[in-house]
A and B are shown apart, each in its own frame.
Chain A
Amino acid sequence: MAVFFAVPIGTFLSRSVDNTELVGMLPNTMDAIESWDGAGLPDEPVFEALGEDFLAITDITAAAGLGRRLNHNITGYRSLVMRTFSGLRDHAGPLGRDELIQIDDRWGEPEFWRVLRQERGTFTSLYLLASLDLENTADGIHRTAPENRLFVDLLTRTLWISLAVTVLCLIFGFPLAYVMAASGPRLSNWILVLVLLPFWTSLLVRTTSWIVLLQRNGLINQLLESLGLIDEPLSLIYNRLGVYIAMTHVLLPFLVLPLFSVMKGVGSDKTRAAAGLGAPPLTVFRRVYLPQVMPGIIAGCSLVFVLSLGYYITPALVGGPRDQMIAHFIAYFTSESVNWGMGASLAGILLLTVVLLYAVLARVIGFDRLKVRQ
């Protein structure tokens, strides 16, 4: 467990601050640039060190890796690195400021040098800041340009969708759990089986069913059309509505089960006493019943909320491009754009949120109640 669970997550998350790749490729430059104060252009030795490091890079994949890494700081660095790499291929003789600027005049711009100076340490704050739409430049940490802001929006969207799904689950789950708890043992058992059935069925299968139902020519549109309620199909899928519908359905049992187990344990002595003393039903419900089942509500809601924060499959299949949550971007950064640093930063933020929520929850209602299945 330790080796195959904790270690992979640890090493992966450490990528969010890891900068050894860059330092390892430009060792001389990183040493030399230490003495530069960041004003104007660095001195000749720094140029020479960079030239030396570049000559040490032999294959193009390594150069491309370096370019990609530096491109995370400033766009345009990739082409600069690639041009320098190919320009130095047949280079002989001295290599300093003049030669480098001749290959690509961007080496004459202080901006590109400042990046190297800033990233000279073994750790970088680049990714963690970037996942909060912040950047660290020569004049301190500030927000990225509005057109590049993406992640704060993503985080709020993830929180918002999770919150909405939680509220929807509560609205639908409460009456269901209530009737389950209030019914006789036979009926209650049957309802339990029907709630457990989707609970056990693969999430992918349930999401597939919703795609079939919500499609443009799917069953719901067909039904509404044949009833004459609509003239043309509604778009129910590949948008936010589809995400809400499918996720609420998938997560509903996670709210119903803990709530049911609490409701079942709540006797009716207190509520009857209150009613007997003349309290109107609504007051009884609000002042007497609700406080008693509150632990169940808290447990169920937080479970749904925490689970939906990390959802990947359902939004990916029924959502549109604007409805993807944080998990989608973690996947995107690691499998498509191969930006481990960004992927690990976002994963770190998600993990931290989830662990904090569980810690608070465990404090409030005890860890034993938080079992996911049964």
Chain B
Amino acid sequence: MRSPSTAPFIERLSSRGSRVAAFVILAVLVAPMLVIVPLSVTSGTLLIYPIPGLSGRWYEEFFTDALWVDATWNSIVIAIPTTALATALGTSAALGLNRLRSRLAPAITVFLITPIIVPIIIYGVAAFYYFSRIGISGTYLGLVVGHTVLAIPFVVVTVNASLKNFDPNLLRAALVLGATPRQAFTRVTFPMIFPGVLSGGLFAFVTSFDELILTLFVSSPEQRTLPRQLWSGVQETINPTITAAAVVLMMVSILVMLLAEWIRRRSSKMQGKP
């Protein structure tokens, strides 16, 4: 936030030049994604501008072609259990770690979020190797397990953040006023961290829904997900159906992002913060 007193220097440096530069960069950052939106509703078969006319034929193909429909279905079927598992495990891990006053706690937290740090290619290949040995490679179970591992860190991070904002005095107050520990949890702790849990779950969903690298290694053709179908489509021929699929994936991400943002605003309002 800018206070009036900081203005002069900032003004001098952020002269018109740097401002223009920033907006050009911003445009370049966003434009490539927007450019494919009109192309997905072209009536022609080529990905060129100006588009000859509007048509929903590529979306129609996307929503009727067995390959794309199956892929979409697979993505949903895998993302839902992944979200549930990752949210449950991540939340309990965060709660447990928060209560653990041991010196090990930070180390465990770091361990829990290592899947973000380790390049996914390594985990993808390793999971392929290990899952084949234990017989879950090429199964839905294998993919759900793999995606859950990748999604847990996001849940741990968001729930941890909401626990940091949580005032432990509230819990003490509830206990003093005669609530059982169980009641205190369900009536006080959980409602307070619920927004964090919810956005963690949203992160988990997007992680699974957009995941490609692990899926490439662990899935068999039967479990081909939307990103995987898009990947093989891009390598063969770029046609407007691919842009339609890309727009659908993009819309899912944007929707989830808006939802997460809405939750964040609501919860900060609830806690009386700006």
Contact = CB atoms under 8 A, between A and B. Distances in A.
Given A249-B29, A317-B234, A334-B129, A271 B22 contact: no
Contacts of B112: 1
Given A185-B2, A310-B120, A268 B129 contact: no
Interface in A284-327: 284-285, 289, 306, 309-310, 312-313, 317, 327
A220 B81 CA distance: 42
Interface residues of A, number: 85
A212 B240 CA distance: 10
A202 B209 CA distance: 9
Given A179-B18, A200-B206, A281-B13, A205 B123 contact: no
A204 B115 CA distance: 19
Contacts, number: 230
Nearest to A289: B13
B91 to A, nearest CB: 14
B118 interface: yes
Contacts of B119: 309-310, 327, 350-351, 354
Contact of B242 (A6, A198, A208, A335): A208
A155 interface: no
Give the residue among A5, A310, A350 with the most B Cβ atoms within 10 A. Answer: A5
A219 B48 contact: yes
Contacts of A358: 117
A196 B257 contact: yes
Given A204-B210, A215-B238, A218-B47, A351 B118 contact: yes
Interface of A: 1, 4-9, 11-13, 15, 172-173, 175-176, 178-180, 182-185, 191, 194-198, 200-213, 215, 217-219, 222, 249, 252-253, 264, 267-268, 271-272, 275, 281, 284-285, 289, 306, 309-310, 312-313, 317, 327, 330-331, 334-335, 340, 343, 347, 350-351, 354-355, 358, 367, 370-374
Given A203-B212, A312-B121, 7 more contacts: A175-B21, A194-B26, A205-B253, A310-B120, A313-B213, A317-B235, A355-B117
17 contacts: A1-B112, A4-B146, A4-B149, A11-B133, A175-B25, A178-B14, A200-B253, A205-B33, A209-B246, A252-B29, A272-B8, A317-B235, A330-B122, A334-B125, A335-B217, A350-B121, A354-B117
